[in-house]
């Protein structure tokens, strides 16, 4: 059969026993904080709504704790782990499941689009992970921007990052990450998780966030790249006006007059701040500037 019954890994005693058996040493540079709370593991699996026909990619399986829960619920799991010292451990802890493949690779170098194509016939996959916090944003944004076919990403992140992903215009956590995540996905907070659910304990609170990937973006723009450049320019200069953010960004190459004209054409005041605008306004600005650049050529 493809699984053995609970109890699996996921409590402190079993985790410590595995770590001691293999003399495993945590590597800070890999953001290793392993889950040791079965309730949290159940919550992540429930939030991800894993079904028998799902193809799940887990980023950073560690010693395979969450992987066991996923393998129990999913059709197939592919776990991508950077730390070669964990590979023999995973071979051991996952030996009772025949629907798990472990790939030793840096997730940032793996072509997940090709993997989904090969292993799941190009159908959308589900991502589930207790992410290494040092590269949360590059991982999440990389997968969204590369348009990997995904139904959802259910990931443990720093609590502050989860708040930023969900934030609405005008709130203190709102920023470029909020706009970028919400362009590609709808975020839902599934659980807050305190440091004592991990070994070793992180210095920060954590949260499980589910990003439901959109089939179509919520706004249309003729120039997605320019829209995100404008967003970055707006938030590089937080608490400054959008006008200053736009004209001080050398990469955009806008004069003060041009920036004023673009704002006015989009019905925005010269004193407006970038942190009060939503995707629609950024899309309108990008379209205006883009058309204008095209007409200059």
User: Which residues are at the interface with ligand SAM (CB under 6 A)?
Assistant: 30-35, 59-62, 65-66, 80-83, 86, 106-108, 130, 132, 135
**For the chain, how big is the Rg over CA atoms in Å?**
22
Contact 62, 85 (CB under 8 A): no
Q: How far is CA 39 from CA 52, 198, 237, in A?
A: 21, 12, 42
Least Å from the CB of residue 166 to ligand SAM: 21
DSSP code per residue over 21-71: HTT----GGGT--EE--HHHHHHHHHHHT--TT-EEEEE--TTTHHHHHHH
Q: Is 206 helix (H, G, I), strand (E, B) or coil?
A: strand
Nearer to ligand SAM, 78 or 230 (CB): 78
- Looking at 159-197, which runs of residues are DSSP E strands? 185-193
CA–CA gap between residue 276 and residue 272 (Å, rounded) = 8
Contact 108, 132 (CB under 8 A): no
CA–CA gap between residue 154 and residue 208 (Å, rounded) = 7
Least Å from the CB of residue 81 to ligand SAM: 5
* Residue facing ligand SAM at closest CB distance: 60
Least Å from the CB of residue 102 to ligand SAM: 11
Least Å from the CB of residue 79 to ligand SAM: 8
Least Å from the CB of residue 86 to ligand SAM: 6
Nearer to ligand SAM, 107 or 243 (CB): 107
Nearer to ligand SAM, 93 or 178 (CB): 93
Nearer to ligand SAM, 29 or 291 (CB): 29
Least Å from the CB of residue 33 to ligand SAM: 4
Contact 192, 163 (CB under 8 A): no
CA–CA gap between residue 71 and residue 151 (Å, rounded) = 18
Q: Which of 264, 271, 257 is nearest to 288 (CA)?
A: 264
Contact 132, 178 (CB under 8 A): no
Least Å from the CB of residue 193 to ligand SAM: 11
Contact 52, 73 (CB under 8 A): yes
Q: What pairs with residue 80 in β-bridges?
A: 59, 103
């Amino acid at each position: 059969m493809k699984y053995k019954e609970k109890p699996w890994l996921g409590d402190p005693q079993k985790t410590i026993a595995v770590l001691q058996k293999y003399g495993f040493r945590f590597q800070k540079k890999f953001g290793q904080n392993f889950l040791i709370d079965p309730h949290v593991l159940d919550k992540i699996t429930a939030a991800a709504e894993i079904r028998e026909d799902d193809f799940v990619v887990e980023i950073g399986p560690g010693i395979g704790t969450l992987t066991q829960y996923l393998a129990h619920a999913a059709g197939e799991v592919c776990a991508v782990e950077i730390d070669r010292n964990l590979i023999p451990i995973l071979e051991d802890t996952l030996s009772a499941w025949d629907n798990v493949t472990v790939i030793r690779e840096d997730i940032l170098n793996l072509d997940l689009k090709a993997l989904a194509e090969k292993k799941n016939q190009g159908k959308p996959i589900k991502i589930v992970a207790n992410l290494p916090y040092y590269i949360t944003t590059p991982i999440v944004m990389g997968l969204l921007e590369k348009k990997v076919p995904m139904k959802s990403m259910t990931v443990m992140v720093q609590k502050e990052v989860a708040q930023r992903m969900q934030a609405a215009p005008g709130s203190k956590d709102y920023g470029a990450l909020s706009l970028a995540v919400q362009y590609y996905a709808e975020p839902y907070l599934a659980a807050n998780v305190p440091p004592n659910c991990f070994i070793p304990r992180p210095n920060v609170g954590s949260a499980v966030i589910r990003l439901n990937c959109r089939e179509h973006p919520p706004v249309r723009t003729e120039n997605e790249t320019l829209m995100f450049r404008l967003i970055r320019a707006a938030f590089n200069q937080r608490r400054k006006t959008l006008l200053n953010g736009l004209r001080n960004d050398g990469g955009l190459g806008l004069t003060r007059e041009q920036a004023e004209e673009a704002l006015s054409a989009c019905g925005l005041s010269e004193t407006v701040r970038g942190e009060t605008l939503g995707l629609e306004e950024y899309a309108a600005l990008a379209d205006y500037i883009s058309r204008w650049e095209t007409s200059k050529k």
